[in-house]
Amino acid sequence: MFRLNRMLLLFVALLPITGLGLTGAHAAQAEAVSIGGKPKLVVTQTDLTIMKAEKVLRYDFTIKNIGRKTLQPQFDYPGHHYYPIEVAVRPGKQLKRYMVMDEHTKYRKMAFKGSGSGGLLDPGREVHFYVEYRIQEDADLSKVLENARDGVLLVLDGPKVVAEFPLQDAEGKKQ
């Protein structure tokens, strides 16, 4: 049973899921497929903010669990600052050109500035998540805004990706 759960989680992590749009505030119906009783997720709201003085790109997402089970952490962590379910944006090639990148990892990650969430994703509940990234000092902020969709929203349980929502050209699409 444990191996089956791990295989299903790996399948979900690799499953491309359609997603959401980012041009101000938008309602999106980006839906993750329910596999093996895992919760279904829908991105219902997105916002994008550029904080000019701090050179920060902020993504705000509202995610609703339309499934029957709570998306709760399956990842155990010995420390005190673990965030059980979090979001991250994996940048595409165009967005990457304008962002400070974390060079000390095997993953393509933008330099993290901060994040937060409104709690667990219980069935029928909408939860707000935000994540902030550092923009390069000499970057043209209009180009950052223009390319903010060039990436993928990741929903994470510790180190495991449990859902992906491509940001580009996905507003209103379902899978």
pLDDT digit string (tens) for 1-29?
A: 444 344 433 333 333 332 333 334 333 44
Mean pLDDT in residue range 124-144: 96
CA distance 71 to 85: 8
Q: Which ranges in 24-174 belong to alpha helices (H)?
A: 93-96, 141-147
Right CATH for 2-166 from 3.30.465.10, 2.60.40.10, 2.60.120.430, 3.30.70.980: 2.60.40.10
Q: What is the pLDDT, as a whole number, of residue 78?
A: 64
Residues 100, 86: Cα–Cα separation, whole Å: 20
Residue 132 has pLDDT above 70, yes or no: yes
70 vs 174, more confident: 70
pLDDT at 119 over 90: no
CA atoms within 13 A on the CB side of 124: 1
The dihedral through the CA atoms of 165, 167, 170, 171 has a sign that is: positive
Look up residue 123 and give its DSSP letter: T
Over residues 49-70, the mean pLDDT reads 93
Do the Cβ atoms of 85 and 39 come closer than 8 Å? no
Cα separations (Å) of 67 from 3, 24, 39, 63, 92?
23, 27, 5, 12, 30
The Cα–Cα gap between 22 and 111 comes to 20
d(CA 127, CA 146): 26
Three-state DSSP state, 4: helix
- Token representation of residue 33: 């497929």
**Average pLDDT value over all residues in the chain:** 76
Highest mean pLDDT among 66-70, 116-120, 136-140, 153-157: 136-140
- pLDDT at residue 174 in the model: 36
H helical segments located in 68-166: 93-96, 141-147
Using pLDDT thresholds of 50, 70 and 90, give the confidence band for residue 45: confident
109: pLDDT strictly greater than 60: yes
